[in-house]
Amino acid sequence: MYKLVLQKLGVFLASVILLSACSPKLDWRIVQAPQEGYSALFPGKPEKMERRLPYQNQEIAQTLEAVKIENDIYSVSTIHLSGDQALLAPNLLEQLQSNLLNRANVNLDSAVSVNALYQVANKQRLATKDYFLEFKSTGTVEQLMRVRWITRIRPDNGVWIYQISVLHTAPARVDAIKFFSEEAYSNFFDEFHPN
C-alpha cells in the first residue's frame, strides 16, 4: 500500500513539473527579427508594434517587441536610422537614455550599472553596460528596470539603436541587481544577439 502511494505521489509530482514547464513563465522561444537585425530569447510570444517617431523634422522608424509575464514586461525596441539619418544616432541615443534615466532621477554616471558583454551573430563578444533603475514609489507599487542600449551599423550604412529591457512591477522593492541576475532575466539579456 505504501509503495502504491509513493508511486502515485511520484506520478503526481512529475505531472506538476511537466505542467509547470508549459506555463507562460517558462515558455522560452527564440524570436528571429531579420528586418530589425537581431534574434532574442523571449519567455513567451511577444507582440510586435511598429510606429514612426517625429525627430528633428524627420520620421524615424521604431519597432517594439514585448511580452508581459506576470509582473514583468520583457521588451526589445529597435530604432531604424537610414544611411542619411545615421548622423542623428548619438543625439537620439542620448535623448532616449535621458528620458528613461530622468524618470529614475539618475543620469548615466550616477545610475547603478554593471559591465556586460553581448554576442553578435558572428559569435564576437562586445562590451556594453546594463543599468538598474528604481523608479519613484507610488506607495503601493514599486517599479524596477534593467536596461541595455546597443548601437549597431546596418548593412546599408544606417544604424540600429536597440533598447533591451525588463520592467518589474511589484508591491515591494527588491535589490535590483540581485533580482535581475536571476536566470529568467539574465537569459533574456544574454541571448539577445544583434547582427
Question: How much of the chain exceeds pLDDT 70, in percent?
Answer: 87
Model confidence pLDDT, tens digit, residues 88-123: 999 999 999 999 999 999 988 889 999 999 999 888
What are 93's three cell numbers? 541615443
Residue 13 confidence (pLDDT): 38
Helix (H, G, I), strand (E, B) or coil at 171: coil
Of 46-50, 83-87, 95-99, 171-175, the range with the lowest mean pLDDT is: 171-175
Helix (H, G, I), strand (E, B) or coil at 193: strand
User: Which CB contacts under 8 angstroms, 24+ apart, belong to 116-123?
Assistant: 116/148, 116/189, 118/148, 118/150, 118/189, 118/190, 118/192, 118/193, 118/194, 119/193, 120/152, 120/193, 120/194, 120/195, 121/39, 121/193, 121/194, 121/195
> Mean pLDDT across the chain, nearest whole number?
86
On whether the CB atoms of residues 186 and 112 are closer than 8 A, the answer is no
Model confidence pLDDT, tens digit, residues 41-52: 999 999 999 999
Residue 191 confidence (pLDDT): 95
Residue 21 confidence (pLDDT): 44
pLDDT at 55 over 60: yes
